[in-house]
Amino acid sequence: MNDSAQIKVGVVGGTGYTGVELLRLLVQHPKVSLTAVTSRSEAGSQVHELYPNLRGYLDLEFTHPQVETLSECDLVFFATPNGVAMKMVPELLRAGVKIIDLAADFRLQDPQVWEKWYGIPHACVDVLQQAVYGLPEVNRAAIAEAALVANPGCYPTAVQLGFLPLLEQGLVDQNGLIADVKSGVSGAGREAKLGSLLCEASENFKAYGVAGHRHLPEIKQGLERASDNPVGLTFVPHLTPMIRGIHATLYARLNNTGTDLQSLYQERYANDAFVDVMPSGSLPETRSVKGANHCRVAVHVPQGGDTVVVLSVIDNLVKGAAGQAVQNMNIMFGLAESAGLDQIALMP
């Protein structure tokens, strides 16, 4: 694109936590002109009335989501609940608009698996086939050509980036993978749910979704692509009493113990600006990525045994959602991959 041109961007569903995080990033993006932010419930009110952190940065009203208006955009982000995007996307694609969906509608390639885990039939199976899974560290080239990108889930991002080097090289028993993952409460969204109340979720720690979480098939799909084999994965998500952050603790049995895993990881991610392989022995903290688009990873083999432990942290709202979406946009529009993504984590 023309160097000085701005991408005309629309955001559908701008009231949730991924929505406002997307606005925070887009408002400061040097190549983005934000033209529409939609919300059925808030239409007519100023965005900064809902989100006072945007006072002075964004002078736009929420509007009703309408295909005509959105069709004038170069790119539309969907930050909507699952099942919404798939109803509007086909028409927008036909109008020549590029799409990044931050929900799950286009993440699972198999529409039957989608129906099983999300409880409704997929609304546009043909379009689903064109969707590119937006994990740049795996699919950068395809994303560059894509009209429709399915932005990965937060857990899947942290788990895949942690496991990929091992699986791509076939270094572990892929039948016994374990992903013990801990998420801040913002992962549950900005809905008034009992379990997300401060009085329910703070000073408390618990597992949930042990019997089966919707991110399980998405993670398996990604790991199987990397492994070129079926994988056996036990995935246990937990709720941890903080706002932002995901910490994945990943376990696998090594097939043999001779490989230099530190070098393997460093080489694998040498060209991925947002994956930071930390020095040997490091213990990444979620706060080191709070508000930033990085995934920090460390590899351990405790007591020199045959079990590898990978620690992988992201901010679920940034690399796990809005930041990765902007990263995908940058790739799709030929911009520097890190344009508008230079936020440094707040510490403390």
Beta pairing, strands 32-38 & 62-63: parallel
| Catalytic annotation, pick one of 73, 124, 154, 295 | 154
Using CB under 8 A as the binding rule, whether residue 242 contacts a second copy is answered as yes
Site residues for a second copy, window 68-87 (CB under 8 A)?
none
Using CB under 8 A as the binding rule, whether residue 289 contacts a second copy is answered as yes
Where does this chain touch a second copy (CB under 8 A) — which range of 5-13, 77-85, 142-150, 182-190?
182-190
73 Cα distance to chain centroid: 23
Of 192, 256, 270, 334, the one binding a second copy (CB under 8 A) is 192
Where does this chain touch a second copy (CB under 8 A) — which range of 29-37, 81-89, 131-139, 183-191?
183-191
CA–CA gap between residue 287 and residue 253 (Å, rounded): 29
Using CB under 8 A as the binding rule, whether residue 125 contacts a second copy is answered as no
Residue with smaller CB distance to a second copy, 42 or 90: 42
Where does this chain touch a second copy (CB under 8 A) — which range of 66-74, 121-129, 154-162, 300-308?
300-308
Is residue 235 within 8 A of residue 179, CB to CB? The reply is yes
Using CB under 8 A as the binding rule, whether residue 186 contacts a second copy is answered as yes
Determine whether 73 is an active site residue. Answer: no
Sheet order of strands, 32-38 included: 62-63, 32-38, 7-12, 75-78, 98-101, 148-150, 132-133
Residue with smaller CB distance to a second copy, 55 or 64: 55
Residue with smaller CB distance to a second copy, 54 or 132: 54
Q: DSSP string spanning 45-76?
A: SBHHHH-GGGTTT---BEE---HHHHTT-SEE
Using CB under 8 A as the binding rule, whether residue 215 contacts a second copy is answered as no
Using CB under 8 A as the binding rule, whether residue 236 contacts a second copy is answered as yes
Residue with smaller CB distance to a second copy, 44 or 52: 52
Q: In the numeric block, which tokens belong to residue 229?
A: 């084999």
Q: Residues in the chain, how many?
A: 348
Work out how close the CB of 62 gets to a second copy at its nearest, in angstroms, rounded to a whole number.
Answer: 16
Reading phi first (left if > 0) and then psi (alpha if -120 to 50, else beta), residue 12 is in beta
Q: In the numeric block, which tokens belong to residue 137?
A: 């560290």
Site residues for a second copy, window 304-323 (CB under 8 A)?
305, 307, 309, 311, 313
CA–CA gap between residue 87 and residue 90 (Å, rounded): 7
Using CB under 8 A as the binding rule, whether residue 288 contacts a second copy is answered as yes
Q: In the numeric block, which tokens belong to residue 315?
A: 């901010």
Of 30, 44, 258, 281, the one binding a second copy (CB under 8 A) is 281
Helix axes 154-168, 136-145, angle to 10 degrees: 110
343 Cα distance to chain centroid: 17
Work out how close the CB of 141 gets to a second copy at its nearest, in angstroms, rounded to a whole number.
Answer: 24
Size of the site for a second copy (CB under 8 A): 85
Site residues for a second copy, window 19-78 (CB under 8 A)?
20, 24, 27-28, 51-57
Which residues are known to be catalytic?
A: 154
